[in-house]
């Protein structure tokens, strides 16, 4: 696990499954996919939306541990996680198709 974390570059998004890069966002198009990103900060947010106007439930994992589910529907800023420390972590979002992710922010 820690070896994988050492291989990832901070701020780069790593995908599994079928994703399409559009001009302003990356969109999941397969039955199941995930995005992984190294984060740093006490709060991690992202701007996302459902591309088919239906509610999407996504799973959030931090350093390979399931943390919670988030519901995404309308375009907006969603808080993914709040932490008690400012350490670097590996965040993974697991989703079905029709999730568009525009950006991440770390505070």
pLDDT one-digit tens code per residue, 10-61 = 878 999 999 999 999 999 998 899 999 999 889 999 999 999 989 999 999 9
Report pLDDT digits (tens) over 64-96. Answer: 999 999 999 999 999 999 998 888 899 999 999
Q: Which residues pair with 76 in a beta bridge?
A: 48
Domain limits, the chain: 2-106
What is the biggest distance separating any 2 CA atoms in the chain, rounded to whole angstroms? 38
pTM value?
Answer: 0.86
Domain covering 2-106 assigned CATH 2.60.120.260 in the classification: yes
Token code pair at residue 77: 């800023």
Per the CB < 8 A criterion, the answer to whether 59 and 16 are in contact is no
Cα(44)–Cα(30) distance, rounded to whole angstroms?
Answer: 25
Token code pair at residue 19: 């994703």
Cα(88)–Cα(91) distance, rounded to whole angstroms?
Answer: 10
């Amino acid at each position: 696990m820690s070896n994988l974390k050492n291989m990832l570059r901070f701020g780069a998004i790593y995908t599994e499954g079928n994703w399409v890069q559009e001009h302003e966002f990356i969109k999941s198009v397969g039955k199941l996919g995930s995005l992984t990103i190294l984060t740093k900060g006490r709060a991690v947010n992202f701007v996302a939306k459902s591309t088919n106007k239906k509610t999407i439930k996504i799973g959030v994992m931090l350093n390979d541990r399931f943390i919670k589910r988030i519901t995404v529907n309308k375009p907006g800023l969603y808080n993914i996680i709040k932490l008690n420390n400012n350490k670097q972590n590996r965040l993974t979002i697991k989703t079905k198709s029709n999730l568009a992710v525009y950006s991440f922010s770390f505070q």
